[in-house]
Amino acid sequence: MNITEFTKQHPIAMFSAIAFVWTWALMAVILASFPIGTNPIEMAPIYLILILIGGFGPSVAGFIVTRIYYGKGSVWTLLGKLKRWQVNIGWYGVSLLMIPLLAVITLIIGSAFGIPFPTSEQIFSVLLIGLIWPLLAALGEEFGWRGFALPKLQERYSALVTSVIIGLFWGLWHLPMDIFGTGNYGWLFFPNFILVHVISVTVLATLMTWIYNNTEESILMMILFHYGITFSAIVILPGGLSPIEGMITWLIYTSLQLVILAIVLAYAGVKKMVRDS
């Protein structure tokens, strides 16, 4: 069996293999070159470029497997989903503002537990990268996770089951980045990873499925939502927290996401996440 035949028989497996190998191989260079916990802003530009290229693993995998599995012209069809902008304006608000608003509420609730608000100096120090990086991160991932894997998995599974599968893979894909960022948390690394990149990411993946299925499979909406996730993590949520403070912050943040998800599932159901008219 050659690669083409394997891809056509096991498209999700091939997609996952390419996405993980691409990203983890490049992140291995970063992990081997810098101490865990190094601020990426302090790195030489070449290493930032490696991180950026590594982050494109899912979209690269999405384009490659789409072309092999669906044939000629399929990549243009996938790219065409980016142009699906004629959706109800409310979905723009949901896609771009939901997660940043939850992050702000997290700050307010967190202050009751002694979690400090980010200072103006902290915000301005990361504002430029916080405006640019989220767009690059979204473009590097969404043509894969939502462009290819989501519709393919929904051919076989319900919207909820599909979301859980993607969420678990999406979270695991972040493992080397999480090791680099929070590997110095000691024993708290593992519960932090479970909270952030298993529970929270799976909840976010499910919310994205809901939006995707209600906006004619718009990749534009997925990019806006992903932008909001990364922008919130960089700019809104406070940096420089202790491991315990970070865990408390993410526990609040994830709990708020779960509340929204419960409302969505109660309203839209779990099979297609589209409310019947």
Tens-place pLDDT, residues 43-96: 788 888 999 999 999 999 999 999 999 999 999 999 999 999 999 999 999 999
Give 180-206 pLDDT, tens digit per residue.
Answer: 888 888 889 999 999 999 999 999 999
Going by the DSSP 8-state scheme, the letter that residue 87 receives in this structure is S
pLDDT of 277? 56
- How far apart CA 57 and CA 65 sit, in angstroms, is 12
Q: Is the dihedral of CA 128, 130, 131, 136 positive or negative?
A: positive
Contact 186, 33 (CB under 8 A): no
Residue 165 in contact with residue 190, Cβ under 8 Å?
no
pTM, two decimal places:
0.95
**Which residues are CB-neighbours of 9 under 8 A, at least 6 positions away?**
1
Kindly tell me the burial class for residue 123, based on how many C-beta atoms sit within 10 Å of its own C-beta (0-12, 13-18, 19 or more): middle
> 245: which 2 tokens?
């403070």
Specify the DSSP class assigned to residue 80. H
